[in-house]
Amino acid sequence: MQDLIATVDWSRAQFALTAMYHWLFVPLTIGLSLIVAIMETIYVRTGAERWRGITRFWMTLFGINFACGVATGIILEFEFGTNWSNYSWFVGDIFGAPLAIEGLFAFFLEATFVAVMFFGWKRVSKRFHLTATWLTAIGVCLSAYWILVANAWMQYPVGMDFDPGQMRNVMNDFSAVAFSSVAVNKFFHAVFSGWVLAAAFVLGVACWMLWKRRNVEAMHSSLKVAGWVGLAGILLCLYTGDGSAVEVARTQPMKLAAMEALYDGSVGQDLVAVGLVADKEDRLDGQEPVKYAISLPKGLSILANHDADSFVPGINDIIAGRTITPEGDTVYNTESYQQRIEMGRAAKAALADYDKASRLGDRAAMESAKAVIDQNFKYFGYANFDSVE
């Protein structure tokens, strides 16, 4: 068992390290691809050779980030099958589909046209080269989309059933997986944040060049493009960031409660802007979970539900399955953790019954057991929890 724990810990550490390096380059690549495409569009429309030089300068920096992102991304793809082989097999029918689409379509699109971007300046027409640049930018975004579809499914699993015959999850609705509200919101938020990051990067490099008095005119032009892209990205990030809060509150209320250190929710819940999370011992002594808190009145209710007088459940509320109405009444209208544990254990027992019936060839018993599994599988993982006292 100790060896197994050590293996899991090392697998997590390796995957986390690779993901951290990968994410250093991905949002910057997304934003730079747009900025480069805009700059080349200006060059093609104006015919000014200085814009060609500006485009090629930033394209070089884009290429470095693109190469680093691809290298670390390929390693991550392999780690799904090596570090997490059982998981990849268990959910591969769903999880593998967006990854395969990303590789077959988006990555091939990028790989084809990025070569034209860098080596086609004197080999193809201006408009064809511009088309290749925009298609590369689109390919970068498509890659991000399908990766985020896979990530969103892990956060909010939809469009699938558990097949006890195969002992794995199978997809039953591709559109639900590909166009879930969580995936769509994640995608746009990631892309727009990439615009902001790339704009900040271009502004930083351009200001450094101006400080050194190098390529002054080109850097002034770069500042203008980056400034407009950054402004658009910030405004759109605010909108999609609000959408992220709503999605987390709707699909993962326990995550929201944990992020906010919210143990007991209330109607018109405040949002803690600044504070220090209390130790477990202090909380058990009846002290506030967040010390020295500076809160925004009703902020979390507005953020989560767009309603200042709405109820936001805390950790204890979710465990108990309770809601507080605007009138102050307590209503138990969702499954408590104890009920989820019992449903998980029922699913687990039914799976054993299905296996036994399958070995005996008793199809009626198999169908009966599968019905119980389907009814309770949503909380299958809770079977491994201890009872809630």
Helix (H, G, I), strand (E, B) or coil at 294: strand
Residues of the chain with pLDDT > 70, as a percent, come to 96
User: Is 70 exceeded by the pLDDT of residue 282?
Assistant: no
Confidence of residue 234 (pLDDT cuts 50, 70, 90): very high
Helix (H, G, I), strand (E, B) or coil at 260: coil
What's this model's pTM, rounded to 2 decimal places? Answer: 0.88
For the record, the structure tokens of 299 come out as 């902020």
Q: What is the mean pLDDT of residues 242-270?
A: 90
290-296/311-312 β-pairing: unpaired
When pLDDT is averaged across residues 226-232 and rounded to a whole number, the result is 96
245: which 2 tokens? 């809060």
Q: What is the pLDDT of residues 186-207, one digit of tens each?
A: 999 999 999 999 999 999 999 9
The predicted pLDDT at position 274 comes to 86
| The token pair that represents 193 in the structure block | 């944040």
CA-based torsion, 277, 281, 284, 285: positive or negative: negative
pLDDT of residue 286: 63
> Helices (DSSP H) in the chain: which residue ranges?
2-46, 49-82, 85-101, 108-119, 126-155, 174-178, 181-211, 216-251, 253-259, 280-284, 299-305, 315-320, 337-360, 363-376
Query: Residue 164: what are its φ and ψ, rounded to 5°?
Result: -65, -20
**What DSSP letter does each residue of 265-282 carry, written as one string?**
-EET--EEEEEEEPPHHH
Q: Characterize the bridge pairing of strands 322-324 and 160-163.
A: unpaired
pLDDT at position 371, please? 93
Domain limits, the chain: 2-251, 260-332, 338-384
Q: Across the chain, what does the average pLDDT equal?
A: 89
Q: pLDDT tens, 250-262? A: 999 999 998 888 8
pLDDT, tens digit (0-9, with 9 covering 90-100), for 352-384: 999 999 999 899 999 999 999 999 998 988 888
Provide the token pair at 338: 């104890």
